């Protein structure tokens, strides 16, 4: 989801916080991480809701039902996919790159704020392409006021790329007309400068999206 797509979510989070909901409850309600909610509502005055104070508070029935449904669906998801075959893993990575990767010739570039997606891309890239690990680069885009060193260490752990191969981080100044949230670890750009590798990926993307590859 783009930055603009998060604005409504952020506004809802701030509204719920002002009503006295906890960070965990807001994160569950919106289906986002608790850390994201913490950043979005950090300047909202918080007064705990009376029904939520004390050791014996009772969760809202709708909240409990939501948690049960998510837990049940998560339990169904893993066995349904199982362990991906090489063919399925290859296709999944191609689809991911088709949506989130750079299309311009010259270099492979994948950017995302979701560590799960970045980790998946890196595993896929290493599995199916003969790459020189020393040529992998990562650049972190992070808003001012957040810890760049911590963010770069976080993305180094996610990508398996050493900090010595990180490019200088980019500090973004928040634009209130576009967005109000700040991702705690920013956005990671994984880069690999090789035209041939990029063309191989794009060849597979075109094959995946062709009519011949789509089940009838």
Distance CA 204, CA 96 (A): 12
pLDDT of residue 178 exceeding 60, the answer is no
Q: What is the mean pLDDT of residues 2-24?
A: 76
Q: What is the mean pLDDT of residues 140-149?
A: 88
Distance CA 104, CA 174 (A): 27
Tens digits of residue pLDDT in 61-72: 777 788 888 888
The whole-number pLDDT of residue 153 equals 96
* Higher local confidence (pLDDT), 177 or 96: 96
The whole-number pLDDT of residue 55 equals 47
Fold of the CATH domain 86-213: 60s Ribosomal Protein L30; Chain: A; (3.30.1330)
The whole-number pLDDT of residue 204 equals 97
Query: Do the Cβ atoms of 156 and 162 come closer than 8 Å?
Result: yes
CA-to-CA separations, 194 to 10, 123, 179, 198, 201, in angstroms, rounded = 38, 18, 34, 6, 11
The whole-number pLDDT of residue 191 equals 97
pLDDT mean across residues, the chain: 85
The two three-digit tokens of residue 52, written as one number: 């939520």
pLDDT of residue 41 exceeding 90, the answer is no
pTM of the model: 0.66
Distance CA 198, CA 43 (A): 43
Q: What is the mean pLDDT of residues 80-106?
A: 92
The whole-number pLDDT of residue 81 equals 82
The two three-digit tokens of residue 121, written as one number: 């891309």
Distance CA 170, CA 138 (A): 11
Domain limits, the chain: 3-81, 86-213
Q: What is the mean pLDDT of residues 40-48?
A: 78
The whole-number pLDDT of residue 50 equals 55
> What 3-state class would DSSP assign to 108?
strand
Query: Do the Cβ atoms of 129 and 170 come closer than 8 Å?
Result: no
User: pLDDT band at 99, cuts 50/70/90?
Assistant: very high
Q: What is the mean pLDDT of residues 177-195?
A: 79
User: pLDDT band at 1, cuts 50/70/90?
Assistant: very low
Q: Which residue, among 60, 59, 17, has the nearest Cα to 40 in the 3D structure?
A: 17
Q: What is the mean pLDDT of residues 87-96?
A: 96
User: pLDDT band at 145, cuts 50/70/90?
Assistant: confident
Distance CA 55, CA 67 (A): 20
Share in percent of the chain as helix, strand, coil (round to 5): 55, 10, 35
Distance CA 36, CA 176 (A): 17
The whole-number pLDDT of residue 38 equals 84
Of the listed ranges 3-12, 90-99, 180-189, 198-207, the one predicted with least confidence? 3-12
């Amino acid at each position: 989801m783009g930055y603009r797509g998060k604005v409504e979510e952020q506004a809802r989070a701030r509204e719920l916080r002002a009503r006295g909901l906890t960070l965990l409850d807001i994160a569950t309600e919106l289906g986002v991480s608790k850390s994201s909610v913490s950043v979005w509502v950090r300047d909202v005055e918080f007064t705990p809701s009376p029904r939520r104070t004390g050791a014996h508070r009772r969760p809202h029935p709708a909240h409990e039902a939501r948690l049960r449904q998510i837990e049940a669906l998560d339990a169904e998801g893993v066995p349904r996919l199982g362990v991906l075959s090489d063919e399925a893993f290859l296709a999944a990575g191609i689809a991911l790159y088709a949506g989130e990767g750079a299309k311009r010739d010259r270099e492979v570039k994948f950017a995302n704020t979701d560590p799960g997606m970045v980790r998946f891309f890196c595993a896929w890239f290493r599995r199916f392409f003969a790459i020189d690990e020393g040529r992998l680069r990562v650049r972190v885009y992070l808003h001012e006021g957040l810890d760049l060193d911590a963010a770069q260490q976080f993305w180094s752990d996610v990508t398996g790329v050493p900090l010595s191969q990180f490019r200088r981080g980019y500090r973004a100044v928040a634009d209130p007309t576009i967005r109000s949230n700040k991702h705690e670890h920013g956005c990671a750009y994984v880069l690999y400068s090789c035209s041939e590798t990029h063309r191989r990926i794009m060849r597979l993307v075109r094959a995946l999206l062709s009519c011949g590859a789509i089940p009838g």
